[in-house]
Amino acid sequence: MTQATSSTITTSDLNTKIDGEPRVLDVLLGARLGMAAPRNLRTKIKENASELALYGKVCTETMQTSMHGGRPGVAYYLNEPQALLLCMFANTPAAASVRKMLIDVFMAFRHGSTVTNSIDSEIQIMRQMVRDSSRRAVDYAEDVIRLHDAIQDIARRCLREPLPVRVKTSDDVEAEWAKVEAARVLTGSEKNQSLVQFLVARGWTRMEIARGQGIPYSTVAAYARSGSTALALTH
């Protein structure tokens, strides 16, 4: 992912503290190339370390990456050919203009233009990286808060809204009626013993009859309609 080139590279951006040779900081180059995360240029440096070494030592420096401490990172200072190679490896929309920019800046240095060893530009880039990290942390915290609020809202609605009540169906009523009638059957009354025999003859056990298991109303009603005078059904 790339973004628009934010600025130019000037001779004041070059660091000559290392072996007296002008070098440009990796994250500064990455920012000028338009990389959304300038530190990602370090991945290109590691992937092409052997080729970069053909043009001189790849100098590094341990730098603090956050104002709040934490694990320090390794920064790379690149000479002119190394920086030009990385522009080609990065292959961003701004790469061509940055290559020309580098050639002009290093040429100006060689021709004796005033060079400042100040690292103000590097500090600005590091501060921007810290600000970006802080924004991402704030965004993450806001997402967590929104999720927490959503969970609490669901919990409140669950406590406020009653659970749905199951409505009895005709099958439920029939099953309950069969249990009541079966209990009456086993009271010992002679007038119900013929119903017991009627059910047993059709495959039900006395235990099932007592519990009303699987005895539909239609079966008991069929018995009543059979003309038996031994059963008096009450509702």
Is residue 182 within 8 A of residue 215, CB to CB? The reply is: yes
Residue 175 lies in a domain: yes
**By percentage, how much of the chain surpasses pLDDT 70?**
58
Q: Is position 232 within any domain?
A: no
Same structural domain, 16 and 129: yes
- For residues 77 and 188, membership in a common domain is answered with no
pLDDT one-digit tens code per residue, 154-199: 777 777 766 666 666 666 666 666 655 655 555 444 446 777 777 7
Put simply, whether the predicted model's pTM sits higher than 0.85 gets the answer: no
Residues 110 and 181 in one domain: no
* 122-137 tens-digit pLDDT: 666 666 667 667 677 7
Question: How far, in Å, CA of 124 to CA of 59, rounded?
Answer: 21
- 107 and 177 in a single domain? The answer is no
Q: How many domains would you assign to the chain? A: 2
Are 176 and 125 contained in the same domain?
no
Which strand (E) or helix (H) includes residue 210? helix 206-211
Claim to verify: residue 102 and residue 41 sit in the same structural domain = yes
Domain ranges, residue 64: 11-133
Are residues 19 and 121 both part of a single domain? yes
Record the tokens describing residue 230, joined without a space: 């031994």
| Residues 17 and 126 reside in one and the same domain | yes
**64-110 confidence digits (pLDDT tens):** 665 565 677 889 999 999 999 999 999 899 999 999 999 999 999 88
